[in-house]
Amino acid sequence: MIFDTHAHYDSKAFNEDREDILSGMNENGIGHIVNVCASAGELARTIDLSEKYPFIYAAVGVHPDDAALMTEEIYEKVRSLSKLPKSVAIGEIGLDYYWHKDPSEHELQKEVFCRQMDIAREEQLPFMIHSRDAAEDTLRIVKEYVKGGMSGGIIHCFSYGKEIAAEYLKMGLYLGIGGVVTFKNARKIKEVVEIAPLSQILLETDCPYLAPVPYRGKRNSSLYLPYVVHEIAAIKNISEEEVIRVTEENAFRIFSKIRVSHHKD
């Protein structure tokens, strides 16, 4: 079954038909989904979804866009929610210099990022990184944390070149690959998929964003992941079945909390 390791079904984009879409996942080959919190105000919504649907799990954390909103109370909320049985990662956290150009904002983002990496370490959960136009700072911080011992991590929606990818792969981290790999002009990410071991690739949508070709520009969903599978299989010259099987195994490996309940099922 396909495992979508990064989705945002709490997004307003799904308000009108969320139930219809999610109820059809299993019959369409989608076995598990990790719904990822992005903003400071949406932590509870992510947890609610994971409690409502047996196949949905939660990642809790605050996106760099909301760095200025962080308070001690929110850090404590992230920590307490991370202890819930269906919370499987801290994320998405990281750095975004694309939308935030001011160096003073960068310093604040780094502080918020590190505070949440501390929670990931203390709670022994993997981290999920958002990094845009911040390759050097992200890599430096992740390297420091991994040196000190972490429970694994994912570079979500990987968008840098193969040299940076190689650094993360050396650390034993996973690369999240989604709809962008199907874009004709996505040369860099296609090269990354070519060099990355399949054992370190995860499937993701980032839905409602980044729908694959032929749905580019429309609302994304886990139901479009077969297009991503097809592209990865073509790049690596392997079967689509192998892509699905290995990436699902990878997901159970990184989200070890799910593995326990998976075997119980």
| pLDDT confidence tier of residue 259, bands split at 50, 70 and 90 | low
Indicate the DSSP class of residue 40: G
- Residue 130 and residue 138: Cα distance in Å, rounded? 9
Query: Does residue 42 or residue 188 have the better pLDDT?
Result: 188
Residue 261 has pLDDT above 70, yes or no: no
* Residue 94 β-bridge partners: 130
Tens of pLDDT, residue by residue over 221-243, are: 999 999 999 999 999 999 999 99
Q: Assess contact for 207 and 238: CB atoms under 8 A.
A: no
Domain that holds residue 38: 2-264
Q: Helical H runs in 5-59?
A: 18-23, 43-52
Residue 216 has pLDDT above 60, yes or no: yes
Counted domains in the chain: 1
- The four Cα atoms 98, 62, 202, 245 give a dihedral, to 10 degrees, of -160
Tens of pLDDT, residue by residue over 24-45, are: 999 999 999 999 998 888 899 9
Q: Assess contact for 83 and 60: CB atoms under 8 A.
A: no
Q: Residue 12: give its domain's CATH number.
A: 3.20.20.140
Residue 246 has pLDDT above 90, yes or no: yes
Percent of the chain clearing pLDDT 70 (strictly above): 97
Neighbour tally for 177: CB within 10 Å:
27
pLDDT of residue 168: 98
Report the pLDDT averaged over residues 242-263.
86
pLDDT of residue 42: 86
Tens of pLDDT, residue by residue over 101-143, are: 899 899 999 999 999 999 999 999 999 999 999 999 999 999 9
* Stated pTM of the model: 0.96
For the chain, the average pLDDT equals: 96
